[in-house]
Amino acid sequence: MRNLLKNKRALITGGSRGIGAAIVKRLAQEGADVAFTYFSSAERADEIAKATRAHGVRAIAIKSDSADASAVVAAVERTVAELGGIDILINNSGVLAMGPIDTFTLADFDRTLAVNVRAVFVATQAAVRHMKEGGRIINIGSCNAERMPFPGGGVYAMSKSALQGLVQGLSRDLGPRGITINNVQPGPIDTDMNPAGSEFASMLIKQVMAVPRYGRAEEVAAMVAYLAGPEAGYVTGASLTIDGGFNA
């Protein structure tokens, strides 16, 4: 690691597991102080925070429900208060609800938009009030924004597609201020919610993937670290896919 993020302050939403936890670890390895939100397991969050501090950085775990706009703003404000500012925002929290259009509930529809779209806007709006030139905003989208090859995923795909329009539009607002905003769009990644050893994964690897394996959360985190760093200052308004050829 090259310590490219030394003295930077980052907030990662949904940082206690899977891709989010890998991002927390990678940014800390690059020297950033980190705050991250979690929804349910305080014990898991405490473990992540303790492991992160071993890299010699500050780490804060914040209990927050991304479906609650006021809680999202509070997480940003606590990050600023305890870390002394915010330079990097990673909008990673997300939910996945799937089902046929005939039976898809309005409650699932509303929560999907609240977490996958509204929370991204709310956190971004709150963070940019504190960001200076060089700020970075990175959303964790999905390759399903561009390809949903299975029935029942329309609402999820719509929520991730919305992020493409958001970053393209907000890049115009934030570019003159020296702040970049981008999406990272993972494909199938080996996590506890989507394990590489499942029957579903075997089907994807055989029938859909160009690279015949699931991705690793650390690979997504590496792309995020690049976008968060000084070498990516000319990348904004982009949706960058890391999907093993799922969308190829």
Q: Can you give the length of the chain in residues?
A: 248
**Bridge partners (DSSP) listed for residue 183:** 139, 239
Among the listed residues 156, 214, 226, 234, the single catalytic one is: 156
Helix (H, G, I), strand (E, B) or coil at 9: strand
Q: Give the strand pairing for 180-186 and 136-140.
A: parallel
Please enumerate in sequence order all residues whose Cβ is within 8 A of that of 125, keeping only pairs 6 or more positions apart, or say none: none
Q: If you search the block for the tokens 């969050």, which residue do you land on?
A: 45
Give the C-alpha distances (Å, rounded to integers) separating 65 from 14, 58, 72, 77, 103: 9, 22, 7, 15, 26
Is 214 one of the annotated active-site residues of the chain? no
Element (H, E) at 46: helix 42-53
User: Active-site residue numbers?
Assistant: 156
